[in-house]
Amino acid sequence: MAPAADREGYWGPTTSTLDWCEENYSVTWYIAEFWNTVSNLIMIIPPVFGAIQSVRDGLEKRYIASYLALTVVGMGSWCFHMTLKYEMQLLDELPMIYSCCIFVYCMFECFKIKNSVNYHLLFTLVLFSLIVTTVYLKVKEPIFHQVMYGMLVFTLVLRSIYIVTWVYPWLRGLGYTSLGIFLLGFLLWNIDNIFCDSLRDFRKKVPPIIGITTQFHAWWHILTGLGSYLHILFSLYTRTLYLRYRPKVKFLFGIWPVILFEPLRKH
């Protein structure tokens, strides 16, 4: 975490329970953590287009919700890192829980008839979200949130491994790429927390363009944003395979992955 001494800016004193390693208001007076803020664009823009395409393709609403939930996380994180206010911190952290619950629902409903609703699982996840929200608002302990979020991610990892091991082995590339990118982001998140003082000292001694590359919390956003986006593609690919569609991953401009498919025609 960041040292206590940091300059103030447009949004006033920090009220959040967390202050990350990026130097506050070092780029502009209007944004507390500039790189931690703008790095959220990867979680905001691509999922919006994914949601629009899902509507056009007539996909189940839970996949539209998955894309939009990731966008909400990105917008909340943008507001949090821009202001370092406690209310904006909640706008970042609580949607992380809610979005993961949507991801869990999608992964465990991949092999059901189209447009079915699992009310028991839905109730369980809503109850879990409510309990986490209530406890977190009371205790205000970031470690509690991180443990609850980790439990959901671990559930997604186990379900993904099951699918690529026993159901659709040819999806290992997509599934493990998503997981690997996310874990790399998690590694950099930990490095940013543990070695913050050393990273700040290093950034004082090198040109700014090099210092930017050591903003590892921003890299956490980029990598987990991409990893989460790929996870949605993996979940959607699994679902459309089960529904006897012909899904394919294509790369827009040779860079950004999207999923395209068409239903099997009835003869």
78 annotated to a ligand binding site: no
20 annotated to a ligand binding site: yes
Tokens of 78: 């943008």
166 annotated to a ligand binding site: no
24 annotated to a ligand binding site: yes
Instruction: Give the angle 236-242-152 at the CA atoms, nearest 5°.
Output: 45
**DSSP for residue 245:** B
Instruction: Give the angle 97-235-263 at the CA atoms, nearest 5°.
Output: 140
Q: How far is CA 141 from the centre of its chain?
A: 20
8 annotated to a ligand binding site: no
What DSSP assignment string belongs to 143-176?
Answer: HHHHHHHHHHHHHHHHHHHHIIIII-GGGHHHHH
Q: Is 24 left (phi over 0), alpha (psi -120 to 50) or beta?
A: beta
Q: Distance between CA atoms of 223 and 195, rounded to whole angstroms?
A: 19
Which of 99, 175, 150, 142 lies closest to 1, judged by CA?
142
217 annotated to a ligand binding site: yes
- Find out whether 15 and 84 touch, Cβ atoms under 8 Å: yes
22 annotated to a ligand binding site: yes
60 annotated to a ligand binding site: no
Q: Give the annotated binding-site residues for Zn(2+).
A: 81, 217, 221
Q: Give the annotated binding-site residues for Ca(2+).
A: 19-20, 22, 24, 33
Q: Give the annotated binding-site residues.
A: 19-20, 22, 24, 33, 81, 217, 221
